[in-house]
């Protein structure tokens, strides 16, 4: 968001509790741990990773590179626009009036409170982990044993046995990570399958995830997510015991991570003080999707104030929250609405257009946004999807109109050169009465590198014949998409069109 504002030549103030920006993706620690596990661990946990090397070779260097990238990005902002200035205010902000916030740095009582007024305000406070009230979070004996999906990033060691509660993406991600690093892992949840949490993942992917976790030695307990009791360790980093309510099963572990969803981080902002509506549905800011403007406290659906909410703290966007880059997409929409920007100049920079009340940045995404966005989950292996799953397509169109085909990556030339998991695949969903591609699901390494191309095909309304006649780059996994189209064509109820 700051970069887009910089392109418009705006003066920018960023309120950040740490006092320094970090150019890294949400949950960057888990992504680094995944890479560490791939190099230092093993798929079946037969080798335990050296945590000292995880820290020195992966976590610390990644943070240093991310901070350096942040510094370079800020330098680029000044290069793009000489009118742009960026101030980073250490502390937390809350509204004290319309278009006015107070910044308080709780770490330094000597630092005076600051009041900041702005022509546009962008809320990007993210989300926080849900915590079950029944768990002993405040107990001193829970220190180093009980974690949520935020605090697990500071675990600081490789546990012997990790118990993870939750069927969502974060639970699956950390189950894979800790197993790869060499820990024993038990994953338990209420749902019938991992990732069965209503985020549009195809059943084929869910089944593949369950088989993969079982294969590498993760103990998966489906429909057994409630806890009857917890016995905390007698000493720090000792073993505790969890007893499950449904089965009565006990789990001995030295780390317990409860990953049962997240909620918006907007409750401390005091939105009503600015004349904005109070947070909704788990501390989220209600926004108007075409502009990302926050709802005001006026009667009716009023979004007239230039306050915007982007990322995990917003509610009402048409862009899925599971998309890792959803915050960036929200920022583009908000910037298009907030700033008047003209065409690109001949020197490659953008110039401000002071004559218009609102403008477009790169494209008018506020009025014309793709129907489907690609979703990529940094799990191990990666999961990516776009459009409709087979189940969603059948529910929408009927089973007689929907076809699906699955191609394993082992059926590609690249897999002959670089072998990969035999269970990794691309699944294409299409209409039988026209061969229009309406969905894709990918399970496997490099899934995030493939999905955007297929998503573009879905949004264009491409058919199986168009994909089948395409020529992918040589020796790439894009070949799997063409193979899927070729295999599906025989089931489509129309004649092949003329070239």
* Within-domain flag for 216: yes
Overall domain count for the chain: 3
Is the domain of 425 the same as that of 479? yes
116 shares its domain with 186:
no
94-108, 318-332, 380-394: which range is least confident on average?
318-332
Query: Could you give the percent of the chain with pLDDT greater than 70?
Result: 88
Taking phi over 0 as left and psi of -120 to 50 as alpha, with beta for the rest, 27 belongs to left
Q: How many CA atoms lie within 13 A of 198 on its CB side?
A: 1
- Domain match, 276 and 390 both: no
- Give the pLDDT confidence of 338-347 residue by residue, as tens digits: 986 544 344 4
The verdict on 8 and 152 lying in the same domain is: no
Distances (CA, A) of 1 to 4, 69, 484: 5, 16, 39
Least confidently predicted of 83-97, 157-171, 266-280, 425-439 = 83-97
Across 29-33, 42-46, 241-245, least confident range: 42-46
| pLDDT exceeds cutoff 70 at 289 | yes
Q: Is residue 467 part of a domain?
A: yes
Over 60: is that where the pLDDT of 354 sits?
Answer: no
Query: Does the residue 370 lie in any domain?
Result: no
246 assigned to some structural domain: yes
> CA–CA separation, 87 vs 2, rounded Å?
10
Flag whether pLDDT at 396 surpasses 60. yes
Question: Within this chain, do residues 308 and 236 fall inside the same structural domain, yes or no?
Answer: no
**Dist CA 98 CA 118 (whole Å):** 10
Judged against a pLDDT cut of 50, whether residue 58 lies above it is answered with yes
With left for phi above 0 and alpha for psi between -120 and 50, is residue 257 left, alpha or beta?
beta
Mean pLDDT of 446-459: 90
Residue that the structure tokens 């940094």 belong to: 378
User: Last residue of some domain: 236, 260, 284?
Assistant: 260
Q: Would you place residue 11 in the very low, low, confident or very high pLDDT band (cuts 50, 70, 90)?
A: confident
Residue 186 within a domain: yes
Asked if pLDDT for residue 385 goes beyond 90, the answer is yes
Q: What is the pLDDT of residue 363?
A: 30
Tell whether 358 is covered by a domain: no
Amino acid 343: pLDDT: 44
Angle at 362 between CA 358 and CA 366, to 5 degrees: 50
Rounded mean pLDDT, 102-114? 78
The tens digit of pLDDT for each residue in 64-87 reads: 988 888 888 777 766 666 667 888
In a domain, 304, yes or no: yes
421-447 per-position pLDDT tens digit: 899 999 999 999 999 999 999 999 889
Residues 438 and 389 in one domain: yes
pLDDT at 340: 63
pLDDT of 365 strictly over 50: no
Same domain, 303 and 281: yes
- Whole-angstrom distance, CA of residue 435 vs CA of residue 429: 9
Looking at the structure, do residues 382 and 307 belong to the same domain, yes or no? Answer: no
What is the pLDDT confidence band of residue 108, given thresholds at 50, 70 and 90?
low
Task: Examine the pLDDT at 357 and tell me if it is beyond 80.
Answer: no
The pLDDT, as a whole number, for residue 361 is: 29
**Residues 331 and 245 both lie in one domain:** no
| Cα-Cα-Cα-Cα dihedral sign, residues 320, 322, 325, 326 | positive
Residue 329 located in a structural domain? yes
Average pLDDT estimate for 40-57:
93
How far is 490 from 487, CA to CA, in rounded Å? 7
Both 420 and 434 in one domain: the answer is yes
Asked whether residue 231 falls in the same domain as residue 118, the answer is no
Which structure tokens are listed for 96?
Answer: 């004290």
The enclosing domain of 53 has a CATH number of 3.50.50.60
432: CATH: 3.30.390.30
Q: What is the mean pLDDT of residues 185-189?
A: 98
pLDDT at 406: 95
Give the domain range for residue 211: 131-260
Whole-model pTM? 0.85
Residue 42: how many other CB atoms lie within 10 Å: 16
| 207 lies in the same domain as 323 | no
**Digit-coded pLDDT (tens) for 292-304:** 999 999 988 999 9
Average of per-residue pLDDT values in the chain: 86
């Amino acid at each position: 968001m700051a970069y887009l504002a910089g392109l418009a030549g705006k003066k920018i103030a960023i309120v950040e509790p740490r006092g320094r920006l970090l150019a890294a993706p949400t949950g960057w620690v888990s992504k680094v741990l995944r890479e560490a596990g791939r190099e230092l661990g093993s798929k079946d946990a037969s080798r335990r990773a050296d945590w000292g090397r995880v820290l020195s070779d992966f976590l610390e260097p990644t943070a240093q590179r991310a901070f350096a990238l942040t510094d370079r990005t800020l330098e680029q902002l000044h290069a793009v626009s000489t009118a742009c200035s960026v101030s980073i205010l250490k502390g937390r902000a809350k509204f004290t009036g319309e278009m006015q916030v107070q910044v308080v740095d709780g770490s330094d009582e000597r630092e005076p409170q600051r009041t900041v007024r702005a022509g546009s305000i962008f809320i990007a406070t993210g989300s926080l982990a849900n915590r079950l009230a029944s768990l002993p979070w405040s107990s001193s004996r829970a220190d180093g044993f009980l974690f949520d999906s935020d605090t697990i990033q500071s675990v600081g060691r490789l546990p012997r046995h990790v118990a993870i509660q939750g069927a969502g993406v974060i639970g699956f991600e950390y189950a894979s990570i800790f197993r790869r690093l060499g820990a024993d892992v038990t994953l338990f949840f209420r749902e019938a399958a991992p990732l069965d949490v209503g985020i549009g993942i195809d059943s084929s992917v869910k089944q593949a995830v369950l088989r993969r976790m079982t294969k590498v030695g993760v103990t998966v307990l489906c429909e057994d997510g409630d806890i009857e009791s917890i016995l905390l360790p007698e000493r720090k980093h000792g073993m505790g015991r969890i007893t499950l309510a449904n089965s009565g099963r006990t789990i001995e572990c030295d780390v317990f991570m409860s990953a049962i969803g997240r909620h918006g981080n907007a409750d401390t902002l005091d939105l009503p003080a600015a004349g904005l509506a109070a947070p909704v549905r788990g501390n989220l800011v209600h926004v108007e999707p075409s502009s990302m403007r926050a709802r005001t406290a006026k009667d009716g659906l009023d979004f007239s104030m230039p306050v915007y909410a982007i990322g995990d703290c917003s509610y009402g966007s048409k862009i899925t929250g599971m998309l890792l880059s959803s915050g960036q997409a929200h920022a583009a929409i908000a910037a298009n609405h907030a700033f008047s920007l003209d065409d690109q100049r001949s020197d490659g920079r953008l110039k401000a257009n002071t004559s218009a009340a609102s403008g477009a940045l790169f494209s008018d995404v506020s009025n014309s946004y793709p129907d489907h966005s690609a979703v990529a989950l940094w799990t191990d292996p990666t999961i990516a999807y776009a459009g409709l799953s087979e189940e969603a397509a059948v529910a929408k169109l009927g089973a007689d109109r929907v076809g699906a085909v699955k191609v394993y990556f082992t059926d590609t030339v690249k897999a002959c050169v670089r072998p990969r998991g035999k269970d990794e695949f691309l699944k294409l969903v299409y209409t039988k009465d026209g061969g229009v591609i309406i969905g894709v699901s990918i399970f496997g390494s490099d899934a995030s590198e493939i999905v955007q191309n297929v998503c573009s095909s879905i949004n264009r309304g491409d058919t199986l014949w168009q994909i089948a006649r395409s020529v992918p780059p040589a020796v790439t996994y894009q070949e799997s998409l063409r193979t899927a189209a070729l295999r599906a064509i025989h089931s489509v109820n129309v004649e092949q069109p003329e070239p």
